Chain A
Amino acid sequence: QVQLQESGPGLVKPSETLSLTCTVSGASITSDYWSWIRQPPGKGLEWFGYIYYTGTAAKYNPSLESRVTMSVDRSKNQFSLKLTSVTAADTAVYYCARKPDAKAHLDVWGKGTTVTVSS
């Protein structure tokens, strides 16, 4: 059974960089695509983008692209998200998820981690 677990700081200061890691268990990261999604308090879902396990193919949401970097660490079966120059608007629950092959759905999700941007 594939499981994903997000980890990272729960509090980030404005203008700093938010860094999160997703650990994949029950399956190898060397297949499929891996995504990040967030959900601000009381609001809907926002897709960040995906990255292929090779790390060479990535697609980002254009509204976030200038601040987002995703990467993969195959040795640790993990993938990561970095979001620069954060503001209070980046306060949200952040989810990692698996995107099977070339499909457009997310079939396995992590439980989510809350990140608050505040000084």
Chain B
Amino acid sequence: QSALTQPASVTGSPGQSITISCTGTSSDVGGYNYVCWYQQNPGKAPKLLIYDVTNRPSGVSNRFSGSKSGNTASLTISGLQADDEADYYCSSYTSSDSYIIFGGGTKLTVL
């Protein structure tokens, strides 16, 4: 099962908005509303940011939002802050035997 496709890196400036894409197929991203996003800081465990495409867990800033169109999901971070600099991973349910697949990760740099 191939991983979901994410850009390797994204760069933004403080205060700006950025969007990270996550492209899959109709067997995963496009077929189900079970896309989620994780933030991972260096040396730390991933933290759930978004689940079921658009939902934020309690305690996650509303600067983080998720969406989906066709086979591509997106994570948007508005009002970029320096501590948003981290790796971001998307994940989805897949109807293949893999059940849960991850994207390759995107490194966000805040200049």
User: Bound pair: A and B?
Assistant: yes
Name the residue of chain B whose CB is nearest to the CB of A107.
B48
Determine the chain B residues whose CB is within 8 A of the CB of A50 once the complex forms: 99-100
B100 near A47 (CB under 8 angstroms)?
yes
Please classify how large the interface on chain B is, using the bins under 10, 10 to 19, 20 to 34, 35 or more.
20 to 34
Determine the chain B residues whose CB is within 8 A of the CB of A35 once the complex forms: 100
Asked whether any CB of chain A lies closer than 8 Å to the CB of B101, the reply is yes
A103 near B105 (CB under 8 angstroms)?
no
What CA separation (Å) do A34 and B47 show in the bound complex? 16
Interface stretch of the complex, out of A7-15, A80-88, A109-117: A109-117
Measured CB to CB, the closest approach of chain A to B55, in angstroms, equals: 9
B47 near A109 (CB under 8 angstroms)?
yes
Determine the chain B residues whose CB is within 8 A of the CB of A47 once the complex forms: 91, 98-102
Q: List 15 A-B contacts (CB under 8 A).
A: A44-B3, A45-B46, A45-B102, A47-B98, A47-B99, A59-B99, A95-B46, A103-B34, A104-B93, A104-B100, A105-B36, A106-B48, A107-B57, A110-B45, A111-B45
Query: Which residues in B have some Cβ–Cβ distance to A below 8 Å?
Result: 1, 3, 32, 34, 36, 38, 44-48, 51-52, 57, 89, 91-93, 97-105
Beyond A106-B38, A109-B46: 13 further Cβ-contacts under 8 Å? Answer: A44-B3, A44-B104, A50-B99, A59-B99, A61-B98, A63-B98, A104-B91, A104-B92, A105-B36, A106-B36, A106-B91, A107-B48, A111-B45
